[in-house]
Chains A and B, each alone.
Chain A
Amino acid sequence: MDVDENKNPTRREFLSMVGAVGGAAVMYQAMGMMGLAQASPYSGPIKLDDAPAGTKVLVLGAGIAGMVAAMELRDAGYEVEVLEYRGVAGGRCWTLRAGDTYEELGGAVQKVDFAEGNYFNPGPWRVPYNHYGILDYCRRLDVELEALIQINNMAYVHSTKAFDGKPVRYREINSDFRGHISDLLSKVTNQGALDDVLSEEDKANLLAGLRTFGALNSDNQYVSGNAASGRRGYERPPGGGVDGAPIANEVLDVSTLLSSGLWSRLATSESLNSSMPIFQPKGGMDMIARAMAANLGDLVKYEKRVTQIRQDETGVTVVYEDMANDGAEVTTAADYAVCTIPFSILSQIDHDFSGPLSSVISTMSYNTSIKVGLEFNRRFWEEDEHIYGGTTYTDLPISQISYPSNDYLSKKPGVLLGAYSWGATAYQFSSMPPEERVSRALEYGSQIHPQMTEEFKAGVAVAWHRVPWTLGCYGAWQDKDAQYADGVAMDRRIVCAGEHLSYLPAWMEGAVLSSLDAIGRLHQAATGNAGN
């Protein structure tokens, strides 16, 4: 969710990066060994004791949260009915494939003109290794995963304000930043600047570590040569035969490196949610949703638009417009309900939730985000630039380019994530017609990959504020600290769930954990009430 600012580094940022690259890595390792750095509190499949006989639960919404709730409650013995607005399940867990048509709010229709088998994930596109909940559902439902390359040393870091706007390989910036830090720290160590905090033995160990960490030479210097080129790349790589001997390339001088600001990208894949290994379902993110929907079968009723939610001491009554049946008004009832409708929609539905929950519902806004999928006739990033998966980071409005982590070396067209932006930039992309979003993404992307202009085949652009079933990307609290307890609390016979009611917002894991917690409490209430 990080929104990168385009600005030159300050001294403070430089120092924080030193910590991020060196100190934090060491800290994470130590925390991991102690078991403290595990992001997800998921502790295996939920175990609900037998449901009270004849108890029915309505689930509103067939996204990840709704389908998790429906599967588990059904397995516990509840009668379950799921109402879904769309004609398919998944919500934001969504994939656009060759031949698909997508109509956004405002009526613009995009036909996905990709080559057979190609796809684009407009919503979630990554499943981190530490999101144990969603991974467990993939395991249980046989959703095949493959590795997604998050960080690739051969991809670029790019700034319009550095190196005349030319992209630089991540490998070079990463190696040089580490190298120069190590060189500088070696110098001050040898000059005695750390004598107050380090013993002689500490200093010797630190210097040895820095030589390895920074690819320093035996004099503790980071200079052009084979040690540095073994990390950052060669002018002429090691080969065979007559000209087999490698020729080292030149390291960037420290001032050029620092003033470029490109080091600001180096910690991007260090966070728990973005570090390797990270996965994607083979064939598109909605393979998860499809597996869940198949598991639920006809428990999910599609094209049902909820218009009213009521509850009293005996149960829940929901009115919906049956879009599959000429908009007929239908009333359905249950003992309890799990409501996973995004609050952007729920705030517009006639409901009788309690005052505190209503206040959360009516004050939660939804963030803006834009993604553009671009298909090219040729995988030029692989063929010309040796980039296989991974991400290029840029200060251009497209923010990043992510290369496909599948079908490597294929001779058929390939699809890039050509823009993924937030905030002020995303608002502006969202305000444009889809075809202009695509052409802008191409225009910006070609500043990094000039081949884009000639190789472009097709594009699709999804602005989340124009997605009809969410009206936005993910929930933003007005005051999360103050409101969270009210938002997650069960309101008599209804409990809300979804990414918006978690501390992993916008992640599918947040939806899973929120849902499991919600149905645990619903079950407690239902078993407590049984026989009353």
Chain B
Amino acid sequence: MRVMTILAASVWLLAGSAFAQDAAPTAEVDDSKAWFESSSVLTQKTGQGVYNAICASCHMPEGEGAVGAGAYPALANNEMLEFPDYAVYLIVHGSGAMPPLGGVLNDQQIADVVNYIRTHFGNDYPDEPATAEMVADTR
């Protein structure tokens, strides 16, 4: 998966802005059919796919978070995402109301979704991307 993501990113850079409106960097992988494939784990294969299928349930589709009697923190414009370790740890182990998700997501999915939120929703932290190895070490 890692290779595919890097490859996709390279294609993205080479293609330049001409395709910017049409193709996503991860266009090779179609996660639209991955919903509900398994009753025990998520099977989405892109950071975006994982985000939309699980993170969005609380952090909302645009990472805006929500407020009720308690709150779900916004991921948008979130400086806590400058380094990948914090998000990796929270996803694997949970914290407060946030459930641990290490049981329903694999190492690569967690790395991919961390990199996705660190480069979307107004966050611009493309350096030091999370890796599956980093996630494995956090478990």
> Interface on chain B toward A: helix, strand, loop, or mixed SS?
loop
The answer to whether B70 and A345 touch across the interface, beta carbons within 8 angstroms, is yes
Q: A106-B66, A348-B70, A465-B58 are known contacts. Are A366 and B99 too (CB-CB below 8 A)?
A: yes
| Residue B16 is within 8 A (CB to CB) of chain A in the complex | no
A-B contact count (CB 8 A): 107
| Residue A395 is within 8 A (CB to CB) of chain B in the complex | yes
| Residue A367 is within 8 A (CB to CB) of chain B in the complex | yes
| Residue B4 is within 8 A (CB to CB) of chain A in the complex | no
Q: A397-B39, A431-B52, A431-B53 are known contacts. Are A365 and B99 too (CB-CB below 8 A)?
A: yes
**Contacting residues, chain A, for B55 (C-beta < 8 A):** 431
A190 to B55, CA, bound (A): 59
Name which of A105, A347, A397 has the most chain B CB atoms within 10 A of its CB.
A105
**Contacting residues, chain B, for A308 (C-beta < 8 A):** none
Name which of A341, A368, A428, A467 has the most chain B CB atoms within 10 A of its CB.
A428
| Residue A404 is within 8 A (CB to CB) of chain B in the complex | no
The answer to whether A105 and B58 touch across the interface, beta carbons within 8 angstroms, is yes
Q: Out of A4, A347, A430, A463, which one reaches B39, CB within 8 Å? A: A4
Interface residues as binary, B113-134 with A (CB distance below 8 Å gives 1, 0 otherwise): 0000000000000000000000
| Residue A135 is within 8 A (CB to CB) of chain B in the complex | no
> Interface on chain A toward B: helix, strand, loop, or mixed SS?
loop
A341 to B70, CA, bound (A): 10
| Residue B83 is within 8 A (CB to CB) of chain A in the complex | no
| Residue A468 is within 8 A (CB to CB) of chain B in the complex | yes
Chain B residues with a Cβ closer than 8 Å to the other chain, count: 31
Interface residues as binary, B86-116 with A (CB distance below 8 Å gives 1, 0 otherwise): 0000000011111110001000000000000
36-59 of chain B: CB within 8 A of chain A: 36, 38-42, 52-58
**Contacting residues, chain A, for B29 (C-beta < 8 A):** none
**Contacting residues, chain A, for B97 (C-beta < 8 A):** 343-345, 347-348, 365-366, 471-472
Interface residues as binary, A88-113 with B (CB distance below 8 Å gives 1, 0 otherwise): 00000000000000000111000000
Q: Can you list 18 A-B contacts with CB-CB less than 8 angstroms, sorted by A residue number?
A: A5-B39, A105-B58, A105-B67, A343-B97, A362-B95, A365-B94, A397-B39, A399-B39, A424-B104, A425-B39, A428-B57, A431-B56, A465-B58, A466-B58, A466-B66, A469-B68, A471-B72, A471-B97
Interface positions of B (Cβ within 8 A of A):
35-36, 38-42, 52-58, 60-61, 66-72, 94-100, 104
Known pairs A105-B58, A424-B41. 18 more at Cβ < 8 A?
Answer: A3-B40, A5-B39, A345-B69, A345-B97, A347-B70, A348-B70, A362-B95, A365-B100, A367-B99, A368-B99, A423-B39, A423-B104, A427-B42, A431-B54, A431-B57, A466-B66, A469-B68, A471-B97
